Structure 1
Amino acid sequence: MEKVCLVTGATGRNGAGSATIKFFARQGWRVVVNYSRDTAAAEEVAEECRALGAADVLVAQADVTSDEACRAMAADIEQRWGRLDVLVNNAAVTTFNDHKNLDGLSFDDFQRVFAVNVSGVYVATRAMAGLLRRTGNASVINISSVGGLRGTGSSMAYAASKSALNAMTFSFARVLAPEVRVNALLPGFIEGDWLINGMGRERYETVRAGLIAKNPLKTVQTPEEVAEAIWWLAHGPAALTGELVQLDAGGRLAV
């Protein structure tokens, strides 16, 4: 029976979410393209997945901050296929703001970022937990960030949310074992529109060049490399759970 993968926030153009769902589709999996607002973008990704060889494609609208929507999505997956093998918690938001600008983030900014990046992962994973357990030998991969370890990234709110996500990864790994493994992937700088739009082209290129010069592997990450790492975590060692796997071209080793 074909396995099933759900990626939340799978519609960003040139993003890690869409690259991941297409990676699984290319392997002949059944895939769930989750989105919150942009139906046209979701349908576009779904068509690409079909063309790449997905066994079946479900387009699922669900805001991860809505418990009702996430439970409805789980019910749709169960009714259609009766299993879920991999959940990739990718949906995330940020407010781009220099960490030194303490007045640049409002209370509402923090609330919004934590609602999606932390509470949303909790709600989505809880909704899928029963299905994952019944499937057995399932895997959850939370997309975190090296910023959650270093207090860096697009904003202080984003870094704090990813640090919270790291802690929640440990908790879920304990709670969902032994039927489900739970790990987090912590990318560094990921090339693509998300950072370009948030940082502006000039700053994006400056930061990218600086990281390439500094990182031991002399590169930064592409969405496709993130997808490959997610695939590995989903199929990785059977004893691997509760781990924070950094994918940063060795940036943590730079001096």
Structure 2
Amino acid sequence: MPEHKAVLVTGSAKRIGACIATTFHEKQFNVIIHANNSTRAANELVNKLNSRRANSAVSIFADLNKQEAIEALADQSINAFGNLNVLVNNASSFYPTDFNSASQEEWDELFNSNVRAAYFLNQKVAQEIRNHSGAIVNIIDIHADKPLADYSIYSMAKAALKNMTKSLAKELAPTIRVNGVSPGAILWPSIPNQDNDPAVEEIRRKILQGIPLNRLGSPQDIADMTYFLATEACYMTGQVVKVDGGRSLD
């Protein structure tokens, strides 16, 4: 039996995904860092984690828009350490889509990255996770419940991911628990030249006004809840926990 449990975190080269992977690693998990294009960031994270504990992290690169890549990611993840106990579906595309001009390509990309990839990756690794009575955690979004203007396709995709979480919690019970985390405002989108834009600053100010705790959350807030649901919440399944500073209370 492997000495350490193993977790696959999709989209984990940077930002929230990297924090989730690092948190599991600190808790003595071996970690599989998945990325598509962020090869440098993924490899830097793997090197950092391996410097803390040798042979405890690997990177796997896969385009989750492609079915064959999903299947390869599943196989490589199981083989990386000889076991897979937890899957965190964090990979996501996020951008606005104007209703009057939205394209089929945008629809496909947003649904592929936010729903389809998670579903079929769950399918491919479920038996391995079942062997270890493990868990799946889906990173959703508060906009699954409160759709965001100009982001209709993204919001629908996240709503589908939320419903999938609840459906699979029934289908995969009792040996696999499936839960979700819905982040609120955690990190501002990484878009060049926006930090000093007065219009953007006003939008951000209004967002903060709508948060009872009056601040952004941190990636660590999401990572801690993800770890809790995956490893400690032994009598929770089918739940989606909002980590949003109270923003959803209205």
Identity %: 27
Cα 1:109–1:132 shift into 2, 3 Å: same
CA RMSD of aligned residues (A): 2.1
d(CA) in 2 for partners of 1:218 and 1:39? 35
SS at 2:238's partner residue?
coil
Alignment pair present for 1:122 and 2:116: no
Alignment pair present for 1:177 and 2:179: no
Residue 13 of structure 2: aligned partner: 11
- Whether the aligned pair in 1 keeps the contact of 2:99 and 2:150 (CA below 8 Å) is no
Q: In structure 1, give the amino acid aligned to 2:210.
A: K
- Whether the aligned pair in 2 keeps the contact of 1:5 and 1:30 (CA below 8 Å) is yes
Residue 210 of structure 1: aligned partner: 206
TM-superposed CA distance for 1:251, in Å, is 0.7
SS at 1:64's partner residue?
coil
- Whether the aligned pair in 2 keeps the contact of 1:211 and 1:220 (CA below 8 Å) is no
TM-superposed CA distance for 1:55, in Å, is 5.8
Gaps of 5+ in 1: none
Residue 196 of structure 1: aligned partner: 190
Alignment pair present for 1:35 and 2:35: yes
d(CA) in 2 for partners of 1:133 and 1:199? 46
Residue 4 of structure 2: aligned partner: 2
Alignment pair present for 1:158 and 2:154: yes
- Whether the aligned pair in 1 keeps the contact of 2:130 and 2:176 (CA below 8 Å) is yes
CA-to-aligned-CA distance 1:26-84 (integer Å, 9 cap, x gap): 22210000112232221011112223447611211122233322332332333343321
TM-score (structure 2 length as normaliser): 0.90
d(CA) in 1 for partners of 2:243 and 2:136? 17
Alignment pair present for 1:230 and 2:226: yes
d(CA) in 2 for partners of 1:153 and 1:50? 42
Residue 65 of structure 2: aligned partner: 65
Please list every run of at least 4 consecutive aligned residues from structure 1 whose deviation after the TM superposition is greater than 6 angstroms: none
Which piece of structure 1 moves more, 58-67 or 32-41? 58-67
Alignment pair present for 1:50 and 2:50: yes
d(CA) in 2 for partners of 1:9 and 1:75? 17
Q: In structure 2, give the amino acid aligned to 1:32.
A: I
SS at 1:197's partner residue?
coil
Equivalent of 2:130, from 133, 146, 154? 133
SS at 1:241's partner residue?
coil
SS at 1:142's partner residue?
strand
d(CA) in 2 for partners of 1:131 and 1:199? 45
TM-superposed CA distance for 1:153, in Å, is 6.3
d(CA) in 2 for partners of 1:46 and 1:96? 32
d(CA) in 2 for partners of 1:54 and 1:252? 42
TM-score (structure 1 length as normaliser): 0.88
Alignment pair present for 1:248 and 2:250: no
SS at 2:145's partner residue?
helix
d(CA) in 1 for partners of 2:173 and 2:22? 28
CA-to-aligned-CA distance 1:166-195 (integer Å, 9 cap, x gap): 111111111211111001111111214xx1
d(CA) in 2 for partners of 1:54 and 1:231? 22
d(CA) in 2 for partners of 1:162 and 1:176? 20
